[in-house]
């Protein structure tokens, strides 16, 4: 059985289960819950405004939920403000079939410079990273952390190869080494390397440093697409 099939089997068996929680929370998790709760209270008006704007400017729901791979290989619904057209899949397939340059770019980066799927408002949401604000709720439920590898979809498992177990050993995060190191301007191979490095050196100090570097990265839209 291949690694991909093993992961698919594990994901299928664990689908829908929430991360296990113990009777006692680690101090880091307590601090994280406090920060996220305060952030959600402070950002609630902005969240409402963005939800209304998404609904008003394109067809479809305000929020987009996509299955992503989390801690111990569990699938969870990763939340985002919808930044794509509702027929995004069809648009992508049509482009990759007719444009070899775009197909090559997609194969290397899993991103497109000129992406026909993204709505006009979606471009702003992505460049500002505001589309990821709903993931604070994922952190609140324990499915994600503030800092960690970006959550991946099942189709991206093969990029990690034998290192997929390293990725699944921690909770995925809203920010991480990849986000502050060029994001979409880096190849997927380097993204995997950043994730491995983060897990190897994971510490409270590293998480604080990444968080502080995330702020200028977001403000300058460095590597965002």
Question: Across-strand partners of 64?
Answer: 80
Write down the pTM of the prediction.
Answer: 0.81
Confidence class of residue 52 from pLDDT cuts 50, 70 and 90?
very high
Q: How confident is the model at residue 19 (pLDDT cuts 50, 70, 90)?
A: very low
For residue 73, the 8-state DSSP code is G
Whether 3 shows a pLDDT value over 50: the answer reads no
Residue 16 pLDDT more than 70?
A: no
Residue 185 reports pLDDT greater than 80: no
| pLDDT band per the 50, 70, 90 thresholds, residue 117 | very high
State mean pLDDT over 187-195.
91
Q: Which residues, other chains included, contact 62 with Cβ-Cβ below 8 Å and sequence gap of 6+?
A: 50, 51, 52, 54, 55, 81, 82
- Of 18-32, 44-58, 79-93, least confident by mean pLDDT is 18-32
Dist CA 124 CA 180 (whole Å): 19
Average pLDDT over residues 194-198: 94
Q: Is the pLDDT of residue 66 over 60?
A: yes
Residue 221 confidence (pLDDT): 65
Give the domain ranges of the chain. 28-83+118-219
Q: What's the Rg (C-alpha) of the chain?
A: 17
Mean pLDDT across the stretch 41-58?
A: 97
Work out the percent of the chain whose per-residue pLDDT is above 90: 69
Tell me how crowded residue 175 is: count the other CB atoms within 10 A of its CB.
23
- Per-residue pLDDT, 58: 93
Mean pLDDT of 161-165: 93
As a whole number of angstroms, the distance between CA 64 and CA 71 comes to 21
pLDDT of 20 reads 42
Whether residue 81 contacts residue 64, with contact meaning beta carbons closer than 8 Å, is answered with yes
């Amino acid at each position: 059985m291949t690694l991909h099939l093993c992961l698919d089997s594990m994901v299928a068996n664990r689908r829908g289960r929430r991360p296990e929680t113990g009777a006692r929370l680690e101090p880091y998790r307590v601090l994280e819950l406090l920060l996220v709760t305060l952030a959600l209270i402070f950002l609630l008006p902005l969240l409402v405004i963005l939800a209304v704007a998404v609904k008003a400017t394109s067809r479809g729901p305000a929020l987009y939920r996509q299955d992503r791979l989390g801690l111990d290989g569990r699938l969870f619904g990763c939340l985002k403000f919808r930044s794509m057209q509702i027929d995004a899949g069809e648009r992508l397939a049509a482009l990759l079939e007719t444009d070899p340059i775009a197909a090559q770019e997609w194969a290397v980066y899993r991103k497109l410079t000129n992406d026909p799927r993204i709505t006009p408002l979606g471009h702003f949401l992505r460049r500002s990273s505001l589309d990821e604000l709903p993931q604070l709720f994922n952190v609140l439920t324990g499915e994600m952390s503030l800092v960690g590898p970006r959550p991946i979809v099942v189709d991206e498992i093969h990029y990690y190869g034998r290192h997929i177990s390293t990725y699944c050993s921690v909770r995925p995060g809203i920010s991480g080494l990849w986000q502050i190191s060029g994001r979409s301007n880096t190849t997927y191979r380097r993204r995997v390397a950043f994730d491995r490095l983060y897990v190897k050196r994971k510490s409270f100090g590293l998480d604080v440093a990444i968080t502080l570097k995330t702020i200028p990265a977001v403000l300058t839209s460095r590597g965002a697409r």
